[in-house]
Amino acid sequence: MDSEIPVRPELGNVVVGVDGSPSARTAALWAAAEADRRGRALHLVHAADTDRRAAFADAETLQAVREAGRDLLSDTAQAIHQRLPDLPVTRELSRQEPVAGLRAAAGRRGTIVVGHRGLGGFGALMLGSVGLGVAARAEVPVIVVRGESERPETGSVTAAVQDADDLGGLLLAAAEADARKAALRLVGVWNVLDHVGSVATMLDDLDGIARQRVLESKELADRVREVYPELIVGHRVETGTSVPGLLIEASGRTDLIVMGRGRRPLGAGPTLGRVAHALIHHAHCPVEILPPAFASADGDGGAAGRDGEGEARGGARARPRGRRPPRSRRR
């Protein structure tokens, strides 16, 4: 590993999609608390998809869609203001379809928050198509808000460790833990079945692989402590036959679980790895999915602010207001 101490990442503005579903409203309230912890603005986006609708809808219908979207944004902003009256909240009625609208609103530095079900959802555990599309295609962190809305806080953030190249993602998870005044738990999962079946595989080999995974996890934890010396950082390696199953179980004992989206095979297009896919469908807490640029040790993810912003529709775009100290939290 590089001996140079990395720079602490800064958590950027928070962008949340609202579509009128109960899940999206829960996500908006969660996103408001997240923005408040970060000392950042919250940007509400309703993607009305009017550019596409214009091909087959008349002017009256399009106007009704816009008015409904503005009302939804206004109602959501009011609900947030009642809870967090000092939080800067801006609104945008996007003409794009939802996935494109949210990606455009986040720019290169924001964090996108979505609910675990959309208006078209059909199962209690299923992620809506918009949330799935954003999680798989966004080039910024995406948080899928899962779990019970009144779930007691555990005081911990969990980061899934794949290998030594995950330092960038672990530092972003550390920033999340630091904002919450919570502990950070690094969890690596070693699936013994991945190494069984080869003629050359021996029990001594398996034992050596397990020890190497534990050593890598400890080294990563030490690197995180160098950057966040005041943060409580624990690490462990779980052994089992199902990586998704063990991480889903771990999600029941934490406030947020952070993991990389999955690396692109042979330079293929955006993908959502098997483990990340399982987590955002079945986890017991919110799940933060990091694209490769944010998860890797040499990525530039985590910087504050947003760029590439155009003129907003239906409200001003979120702009950095200067970093406010996080609110005190009840323990």
Return the structure tokens found at 295: 């998860």
Summarize pLDDT for 10-25 with one digit per residue, the tens: 999 999 999 998 999 9
Give the per-residue pLDDT at 164.
Answer: 80
**Average of per-residue pLDDT across 271-299:** 85
Kindly indicate the confidence band of residue 279, based on its pLDDT and cuts at 50, 70 and 90.
Answer: very high
- What is the pairing mode between strands 42-47 and 89-94? parallel
Measured in degrees and rounded to the nearest 5, phi and psi for residue 275 equal -70, -45
Q: State the SS3 of 152-164.
A: CCCCEEEEEECCH
Segment among 29-33, 175-179, 198-202 with least mean pLDDT: 198-202
Give the per-residue pLDDT at 118.
Answer: 59
**Average of per-residue pLDDT across 47-61:** 88
Is a pLDDT exceeding 50 seen at residue 132? yes
Cα–Cα dist 88/104, whole Å: 20
**Average of per-residue pLDDT across 133-143:** 92
Q: Nearest to residue 168, comparing CAs of 69, 298, 312, 324?
A: 298
Summarize pLDDT for 230-263 with one digit per residue, the tens: 999 999 988 777 889 999 999 999 999 999 986 5
**Average of per-residue pLDDT across 118-126:** 44
Q: Nearest to residue 278, comparing CAs of 238, 242, 239?
A: 242
